[in-house]
Amino acid sequence: MHGIIYSILMEVKMEKWLEWAIELQSLAQAGLTYGKDIYDKERYERIREISAEIVSNYTDMSIEKVKDLFCNEVGYQTPKLDTRAAIFEDGKILLVRENNGKWSLPGGWVDVNVSVKENTIKEVKEESGLDVSADKIIAVQDRAKHNLPVYAYGVCKVFVLCSVLGGQFVENIETTEFQYFSEFEIPELAEEKNNLEQIKMCFDVLNNDNWKVVFD
């Protein structure tokens, strides 16, 4: 699971200035990709700089750091993909404990060379040591509609129901342990990755053999 080093985070809901900065950055990135005229590209580059200056002005980040995090991609801007695995045992859900002490469903960014299914299995193995099968998609969500803090780019979150095949916890750099929790004893969550509403949604799948994929 990649960290959130690629993100610019806000502690509040999406503000208008951030919406404008994101849109400016997206337009500039597309212009730099598809524009042909050298003078137009200079203008797009300046628009990109303005978007970074807006973010820097409203946060405690230096303009250099904002440019590195916010303006570091090329090509047409599209959302990133994130997978989260829902694994159950005796009616309880598996959560991994992160280095900051908070808990999350195992998961992370989808690598460019793997599928959603492959990434789900890989992330579970890396963070919990367990071997799983990815059985069913629970939901496909627009992160901006469900999770805080706000990221300065789009994220599509895919929740996947999984079954354990074997394995055991292996010490790693991202998590310190895993435990199973009932629906009514959920610990403090890493809410930028999954919140209580999303955890409860995963529990709903257990009691519904005819579950239909939820999507935004």
The CATH number given to whatever domain includes residue 86 is 3.90.79.10
Whether residue 93 is found in the same domain as residue 141: yes
Look at residue 32 in the predicted model and tell me its pLDDT. 92
Whether residue 58 is found in the same domain as residue 144: no
Look at residue 97 in the predicted model and tell me its pLDDT. 98
Look at residue 10 in the predicted model and tell me its pLDDT. 41
Q: Of the candidates 49, 70, 91, which is a domain's last residue?
A: 70
205 occurs within a structural domain: yes
CA of 48: how far to CAs of 16, 20, 54, 59, 75, in Å? 17, 12, 10, 17, 14
Whether residue 120 is found in the same domain as residue 185: yes
Whether residue 63 is found in the same domain as residue 90: no
Q: Of the candidates 36, 70, 104, which is a domain's last residue?
A: 70
Whether residue 57 is found in the same domain as residue 151: no
What mean pLDDT is predicted for residues 128-133?
Answer: 98
Q: Is the pLDDT of residue 104 over 90?
A: yes
Mean pLDDT of the chain: 90
Q: For residue 142, give its domain range.
A: 80-215
8 occurs within a structural domain: no
7 occurs within a structural domain: no
Give the closest residue to 84 by CA, choosing from 130, 129, 140: 140
Look at residue 6 in the predicted model and tell me its pLDDT. 37
2 occurs within a structural domain: no
143 occurs within a structural domain: yes
Whether residue 95 is found in the same domain as residue 185: yes
40 occurs within a structural domain: yes
Whether residue 183 is found in the same domain as residue 151: yes
Look at residue 14 in the predicted model and tell me its pLDDT. 59
Give the closest residue to 160 by CA, choosing from 127, 116, 122, 112: 116
Whether residue 88 is found in the same domain as residue 54: no
Query: Is there a cis peptide before residue 79, judged by omega within 30 degrees of 0?
Result: no
Q: How many domains does the chain have?
A: 2
What mean pLDDT is predicted for residues 166-174?
Answer: 94
148 occurs within a structural domain: yes
Whether residue 114 is found in the same domain as residue 208: yes
**Range 200-208, long-range pairs (CB < 8 A, 24+ positions):** 201/138, 201/139, 201/159, 202/86, 202/93, 202/105, 202/138, 202/159, 202/161, 203/93, 205/86, 205/136, 205/138, 205/161, 206/88, 206/91
Whether residue 185 is found in the same domain as residue 87: yes
Whether residue 91 is found in the same domain as residue 150: yes
Cα separation, 198 vs 123, in Å, equals 18
* Res. 8 pLDDT band, cuts 50 70 90: very low
Least confident of 32-46, 68-82, 102-116, 135-149: 68-82
Percent pLDDT > 70 in the chain is 94
1 occurs within a structural domain: no
What mean pLDDT is predicted for residues 97-126?
Answer: 97
Whether residue 46 is found in the same domain as residue 95: no
